[in-house]
């Protein structure tokens, strides 16, 4: 799938966050959306996800055919530190619930995902008792282990220690080689595998 931006801009009130973005994200490529905190990285990701409408310009999704914006969620997996999980669910319930809506990546099942997380002993614990790092690992595993062609990650290593960062990079290497990956970040260790860089500062 390709995503095309044609003169896309977004403003809040009268202030432009970014404008005049002409860019094409191509199938299977890896991209980093760069910029300091508050620059608009998450806003651009929200537009790409189809959850936010641009203030100007157009966004298009195409596979073998044109895909409607309201249907693009079927092709996307997303992880971000601000993405809410159902706190009352156990880890096992969270995995089962997520994969009612997304197919597992080839060769995976619930037990395999638990194994990847390294949290088997916590499978019956409610997420409200998880640390922020455990929650972030869960979000990343759910996104990366879903069978979708697009993987969006916003500040993926937030709340992860050094071991968690290594685990994240292994997850990307194993489950995203053929996916389009778009990472919103200002930390190089999160997007070092991305060959294509888009700086929000270029569109102010």
195-200 — which CB contacts under 8 Å span 24+ positions? Answer: 195/29, 195/30, 196/29, 196/30, 196/31, 196/32, 197/31, 197/32, 197/34, 198/23, 198/31, 198/32, 198/33, 198/34, 199/34, 199/35, 200/18, 200/33, 200/34, 200/35, 200/39, 200/40, 200/41, 200/44
Beta-carbon contacts of residue 99 (< 8 Å; ≥ 6 apart)? 110, 146
pLDDT digits (tens, 9 = 90+) for 6-56: 999 999 988 999 999 999 999 999 999 999 998 999 999 999 999 999 999
- Indicate whether 158 pLDDT > 80: yes
| pLDDT per position as a tens digit, 55-79 | 999 999 988 677 888 788 889 999 9
Give the pTM. Answer: 0.93
CA gyration radius, the chain: 17
The CATH architecture that domain 2-203 belongs to is 3-Layer(aba) Sandwich (3.40)
How is the chain split into domains, by residue range? 2-203
- Three-state secondary structure call for residue 171: helix
């Amino acid at each position: 799938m390709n995503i095309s931006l044609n003169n896309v801009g977004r403003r809040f009130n009268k202030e432009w966050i970014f404008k005049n973005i002409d860019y094409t994200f191509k199938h299977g490529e890896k991209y980093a959306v760069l910029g300091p905190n508050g620059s608009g990285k998450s806003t651009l990701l929200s537009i790409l996800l189809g959850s936010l409408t641009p203030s100007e310009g157009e966004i298009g999704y195409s596979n073998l055919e044109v895909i409607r914006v309201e249907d693009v969620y079927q092709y996307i997996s997303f992880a971000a530190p601000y993405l809410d999980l159902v706190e009352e669910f156990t880890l096992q319930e969270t995995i089962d619930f997520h994969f009612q809506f997304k197919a597992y990546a080839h060769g995976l099942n619930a037990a395999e995902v638990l194994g990847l997380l390294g949290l088997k002993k916590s499978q019956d614990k409610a997420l409200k008792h998880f640390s922020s790092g455990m929650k972030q690992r869960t979000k990343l595993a759910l996104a990366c282990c879903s069978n979708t062609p697009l993987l969006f990650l916003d500040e993926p290593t937030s709340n992860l220690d050094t071991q968690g960062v290594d685990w994240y990079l292994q997850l990307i290497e194993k489950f995203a080689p053929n996916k389009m990956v778009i990472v919103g970040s200002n930390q190089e260790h999160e997007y070092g595998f991305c060959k294509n860089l888009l700086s929000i500062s270029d569109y102010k």
